Amino acid sequence: MSEKSAGYLDMELLRFTTAGSVDDGKSTLIGRLLYDSKAIFEDQMEAIEISSKKRGDEEVDLALLTDGLRAEREQGITIDVAYRYFATPKRKFIIADTPGHIQYTRNMVTGASTANAALILVDARNGVIEQTLRHSYIANLLQIPHIIVCINKMDLVDFSQETYERIKADYQKMVVDKLNIKDVCFIPISAKLGDNVVDASTKMDWYSGTPLLDLLENIKIVDDRNHGDSRLPVQYVIRPQSDEFHDYRGYAGRVASGVFHPGDKVRILPSGIETTIEAIDSFTGEQEVAFTPQSVTLRLSDNIDISRGDMIVDANNVPNVSQEFEAMLCWMNERAMMPRGKYTIKHTTNETRCMIRDVKFKVNVDTLDEVADDKVVALNDIACVSFKAAKPLFFDSYKKNRLTGSFILIDEGTNETVAAGMIL
Amino acid sequence: MKEYNINHLRELEAESIFVIREVAAQFENPVMLFSGGKDSIIMFHLARKAFAPAKVPFPMMHIDTGHNFAETIEFRDMLMEKTGTRIIVRYVQDSIDQGKVAEETGFNASRNKLQTITLLDGIEDLKVDCAMGGGRRDEEKARAKERFFSHRDEFGQWDPKNQRPELWNLFNGKKHMGEHFRVFPISNWTEMDVWQYIYLENIEIPNLYFSHEREVFQRDGTLLAKSDCIPMRPGEKTEKRIVRFRTIGDATCTGAVESEAHSLEEIIEEVAATRTTERGTRADDRRSEAAMEDRKKEGYF
């Protein structure tokens, strides 16, 4: 195999999300990244050239590449999260392209939940607006480790350094300081013309940083993962029931965080029983180590009753075990939250019922102020809520652990996913 | 921390295995759709990995249009027998014989659309509550909006504007009686990832994917294989060319590409250099700009 294709086997995966308001040029930016990194194929290009012409556009509208649904193309807007893929020799990228409309904030939360990085788009003509605040707040709430503010449409402000610096300072003051965001960087771009997207701009010599793609290729992501707190939510119990594997019992799951080795002392929750890991099995044999985000099967030294929803954790570092907890909640359904209502809660592989106890405060996402006296939690609201579950959950704070600190609420009547929660 | 890093293929693999295990845990009567194409072959491979050393705890299901390449069916039967896996086959011909669907006529007649009825009937008859498919989001723009766990109403329909939000790795498979789910474990894989993974894991695939000599003819810019199920128009002539297939679907709408790629390494290099999408060889997607969205809403794969 040539060096080029063999090198592909060593690539990392980076997931990022994009956020901006309606006309900030998000879809155009993604179209540009795909086009300039040669991830757009001739037949796709041909198809959007025809569509652009049909609509009477003078130039090819790269946004048509991502707007997949008929209604989106007709209305020229993005309705739902779209996933896009491209690769460079260094990394494979998954883009969650999320709509900027206020009514679709739930989609941004969805796209942000698995992202390693967030691109926040700001229209250079408009500067930091309410939507910018909202998007940044959500990116931070979902603990996306890296935030990249793309100041777009620089071509429409004559590639002015002054405008760029002013927006940067505004963002610093209005967003970064207020939200205490740690990793943020700024890039002046023109998605439409391609400046500083894949190739460095020739019109903004005053900008000393790298183009966007370069940045995406080099962000360090390994360190963002929690390798300290060993947690394996049991997903499925493997019992072959065959002559060859008569007594086999394997506990299958995806390592949520931390590292496991054969011989490690572990504790089983909720029983609290301690045992050791006998082996870590995979399809091709035993492996020496298991770490997040691997899907593995653990065998234990003792025969213990363990089922789906239980958690295997480091015996010396256990999560919180409690029926009561507080969380930041993003409401995602047209039907508002029922005060003291009961919902199904899905947390790791565990599932039980829970009751809303109280709304501590709501967050005004346009000003980022906390509102204490408003108890109505409706679509796209973000609130701090206290809960009581029907049985103990095993959790860490979301800040510490995105997988053992997150949950969804399900309406028991409609079966819809109505809220996303991040445990405090 | 370098030692705790995995490459993108292993990360995609771990994600897919997680999704497949969720299906086994959340549903009572799931099936995995299997066509004999490369995507369903890797999905099956991932399922075997997910439950080893136990057998895959659900059957495969093939919706057979009857317009197959013989090599695909031989391969399917060989793989199922070798791994001791149960496969349920439902035939579009049966739906036609029962008068449930009318066969398209004309030169471009295809059974592609009819499969939906056969699939939905199979799901209903066998009380299937979840059908896993090998659809990938990079294949087509309507698929790019699809969830891993995709809810279908009692008519098997997809409502793209009203999908459940899907966050972290929390998959909501709850449904009412009569509804079902489509689950797409390899949603995040690209064509390149699939080929690299086949290479990495040394997975067996049908010979159709490799370069071979075949009688083909040109129609609307597509090279179609000479077959009893495609009537030739006046003036169309077959000729022998060196070709391979990038996708294997219904023989009436799957185009071949001219290629000298005899090995996986050569295929990977060809995919890296190619400038058209793999579905560009699929006549079924070319019927209109929203062809895939319309079929998916009705309950297509």
Q: What is the DSSP string of B172-195?
A: -----TT-EEEE-TTTT--HHHHH
- Among A17, A80, A296, the residue to mutate for chain B (most B Cβ within 10 A): A80
Q: Which of A279, A296, A314 lies at the terminal end of a domain, its last residue? A: A314
Confidence of residue B277 (pLDDT cuts 50, 70, 90): low
Residues of B in contact with A295 (CB under 8 A): 13-15, 17-18, 21, 50
* Same domain, residue pair A288 and A328: no
Chosen domain end from A184, A205, A224? A224
pLDDT in tens, A84-99: 888 888 899 999 888 7
**pLDDT exceeds 80 at position A22:** no
How sure is the predictor about A34, in pLDDT bands with cuts at 50, 70 and 90?
Answer: confident
Cα–Cα dist B80/A277, whole Å: 34
Average pLDDT of the segment spanning A290-308: 95
Partner residue opposite B51 with nearest CB, options A238, A244, A407: A238
Kindly state whether residues A10 and A37 are assigned to the same domain.
yes
* Same domain for B230 and B109: no
Whether B177 and B59 map to the same domain: the answer is: yes
Q: Are residues B219 and B185 in the same domain?
A: no
Contacts of A78 (CB under 8 A, 6+ apart): A26, A27, A63, A66, A67, A72, A97, A98, A99, A100
In the numeric block, which tokens belong to residue B163?
A: 């999908």
Same domain for A122 and A85: yes
Q: Indicate whether B120 and B237 sit together in one domain.
A: no
- Does B130 share its domain with B186? yes
Structural domains counted in chain A: 3
Are B152 and B181 within 8 A, CB to CB? yes
CA dihedral B285, B119, B131, B252 (to 10 degrees): -40
Same domain, B214 and B182: no
Where residue B184 sits, what CATH number does that domain have?
3.40.50.620
Q: Could you tell me which of A281, A275, A285 has the C-alpha nearest to residue A306?
A: A275
Q: Is A420 on the interface with B (CB under 8 A)?
A: yes
Model pLDDT, residue A4: 46
* Same structural domain, B96 and B59: yes
* Lowest mean pLDDT segment, chosen from B1-15, B47-61, B268-282: B268-282
Contact B172 A106 (CB under 8 A): no
Q: Regarding predicted confidence, which is higher, B65 or A37?
A: B65
Identify whether residues A201 and A245 lie together within a single domain.
no
pLDDT at B111: 77
- In the prediction, which pLDDT does A134 show? 86
The closest of B134, B10, B32, B15 to B80, measured between CA atoms, is B32
Predicted local confidence at residue A361, as pLDDT: 96
Give domain status of residue B149, yes or no. Answer: yes
Last residue of a domain, one of A224, A254, A274: A224
Contacts of A235 in chain B (CB under 8 A): 18, 21-22, 25
Q: Are residues B166 and B37 in the same domain?
A: yes
For residue A258, pLDDT over 90 is answered with: yes
- Per-residue pLDDT band for A367 (boundaries 50, 70, 90) equals confident
Tell me whether residue B201 is in a domain: no
Structure-model confidence comparison of residues A392 and A10, the more confident one: A392
B259 and B177 in a single domain? The answer is no
Measured between beta carbons, the chain B residues lying within 8 angstroms of A245 are: 53-54
Residue A7 in contact with partner chain B when CB distance is under 8 A: no
Counted residue by residue, chain A has a size of 424
| CATH code of residue A307 | 2.40.30.10
Do B29 and B88 share a domain, yes or no? Answer: yes
Residue B186 lies in a domain: yes
Q: What is the pLDDT of residue A2?
A: 46
A267 and A141 housed in the same domain: no
Measure A264 CA to nearest chain B CA, in Å.
17
Q: What percentage of residues in chain B have a pLDDT greater than 70?
A: 91
Same domain, A280 and A328: no
Tokens 């979840």 sit at which residue? Answer: B130
pLDDT band at residue B278, thresholds of 50, 70 and 90? low
- Confirm or reject contact between A81 and chain B (CB < 8 A): yes
Higher pLDDT, A79 or A341: A341
Domains held by chain B: number: 2
**Nearest CB partner across the interface for A106, out of B137, B165, B172:** B165
| Length of chain B in terms of residues written | 301
Number of Cβ pairs < 8 A linking chain A and chain B: 201
Residue range(s) defining the domain that contains residue B119: 2-192+289-298
The verdict on A403 and A334 lying in the same domain is yes
Assess if residue B200 is contained within a domain.
no
Asked if residue B115 is part of any domain, the answer here is yes
Same domain, A53 and A164: yes
Q: What is the CATH number of the domain that holds A119?
A: 3.40.50.300
**Model confidence at A392: pLDDT above 90:** yes
The pLDDT value recorded for residue A77 is 56
Which residue has better confidence, A378 or B115?
Answer: A378
| Residue B202 included in any domain | no
A79: chain B residues, CB-CB within 8 Å: 161
Do A175 and A132 contact (CB within 8 A), yes or no? yes
pLDDT at B136: 93
Measure A156 CA to nearest chain B CA, in Å: 30
Residue of B169, B184, B274 to mutate when probing chain A, most A C-beta within 10 A: B169
Question: Average of pLDDT values for B227-254?
Answer: 83
Q: Are residues A214 and A244 in the same domain?
A: no
Highest mean pLDDT among A53-67, B67-81, B153-167, B269-283: B67-81
Range of the domain at A370: 320-423
Q: Are residues B165 and B151 in the same domain?
A: yes
Tokens of A287: 């492996």
Same domain, yes or no: B102 and B172: yes
Cα–Cα distance measured from residue A339 to residue A322, given in angstroms and rounded to the nearest whole number: 22
- At A70, the pLDDT band (50, 70, 90 cuts) reads low
Same domain, A53 and A198: yes
Q: How far apart are CA B225 and CA B208, in angstroms?
A: 11
In a domain, B184, yes or no: yes
Q: CB–CB of A97/A18 below 8 Å? A: yes
Any B CB within 8 A of A113 CB: yes
Q: What is the ipTM of this complex?
A: 0.92
More confident residue, A421 or B4: A421
DSSP per residue, A102-161:
GGGHHHHHHHHTT-SEEEEEEETTT-S-HHHHHHHHHHHHTT-SEEEEEEE-GGGGTT-H
Q: How sure is the predictor about B283, in pLDDT bands with cuts at 50, 70 and 90? A: low
**Chain B hits for A292, Cβ within 8 Å:** 4
B231 to B68, B108, B219, B236, B255: CA distances (angstroms): 15, 8, 12, 10, 15
Give tens-digit pLDDT for A143-163: 999 999 999 999 999 999 999
Of A83, A332, A402, the CB nearest to B165: A332
Q: Is the model's pLDDT at A3 over the cut of 60?
A: no
Average pLDDT over residues B199-208: 93
Q: Does one domain contain both A26 and A124?
A: yes
Same domain, A297 and A379: no
